[in-house]
Amino acid sequence: MALKAGGRSQVMQNLLRIVYLLFGAMLVSLDAAPAQDLPPLDILRAIAGKLPHQPQTRGTTFQPSDSGAANPMCEMQRFSMTLATGSGTARSLPVLLDRKPPDDDTQVTLLAVLHRVTVDVDGSPRTYHPGDPHGAGTCTTETGPDGKKHNSGVCALDDFASAHLLVFQGAQKLGKGEFESPWTNFWPLIRDKKLTPLDLKQYVDTAPDGYYFFYWKERSLTAFFKREIIPQASDGFPCQRDSGYFVAATTLKQDGDVLSNGCAPSR
């Protein structure tokens, strides 16, 4: 049955009303969408104050010791070398320097003897693994048909603490013995991208630089990553190798391809 002009006009008006109503419902829905879950700001500020950070060295001074007497074994002069940092603290080390006239600008040899040596394994393809947070090395070594040795299982070399990967319950940092169970349940939510990566500096401007975090509201758990050590992919999640290990970055970088997700494991 054909509609008269007035009837068609009424149909169009009804359709427009429906469109306006639907559009209004969409706006209401968007306004009612929940905001990103965050820990309370006082908790975030408390956590920020507990995060480790390495202040940059801002000066090195040398002070002669032993009245400037030279070491009889190598004819080098004893000095105390002080490394000053931006934190107001300083670290001093005993060193030996070549002797030279005060007005001579030529370079000298410096010899420092440290009584404690640490090894940093960042950069290794198996430094940190989400399944071995303490670097316990739970893998076994097997010899394959090719005669080469292969690791079977997770064989992380280092502890999460070395990566500044920390988990907090409220404002309380979880240590060994209390960290493992929450992390086992927390990590799958991060791995499966069910939580949103957040930049700490965006919410606490006095926080140390370079931390991103994930918040699990139901358990009041927050996991913090140091971007300089475990970089973020282009979607904000931690970079991982195909083997499941985190990409562990180093200050020294070599040439290497950047993957489509923004990670560069070979660098």
SS3 226: strand
Number of other CB atoms surrounding residue 246 within 10 Å? 23
> Within its chain, how far is the Cα of 173 from the centroid?
16
Query: What span, in angstroms and rounded, lies between the C-alpha atoms of 99 and 78?
Result: 10
Q: How far apart are the first and last CA of the chain?
A: 73
Query: What span, in angstroms and rounded, lies between the C-alpha atoms of 59 and 96?
Result: 18
Domain residue extents for the chain: 57-112, 120-226
- Residue 4 φ/ψ, nearest 5 degrees: -75, 165
Q: Tell whether pTM > 0.85.
A: no
Query: What span, in angstroms and rounded, lies between the C-alpha atoms of 165 and 159?
Result: 9
Residue 114 corresponds to which tokens in the numbers above?
């440290």
For residue range 42-66, list pLDDT tens digits in order.
999 999 999 987 655 567 788 887 6
Return per-residue pLDDT of the chain as tens, 267 residues.
454 555 556 656 665 565 555 555 444 333 333 446 899 999 999 999 999 876 555 677 888 876 667 777 777 888 888 876 655 566 777 888 877 666 667 777 777 776 777 777 888 999 999 999 999 877 888 888 888 888 788 889 999 999 999 999 999 999 988 999 999 999 999 999 999 999 999 999 999 999 999 999 999 999 999 999 999 999 999 999 999 999 999 877 788 889 999 999 988
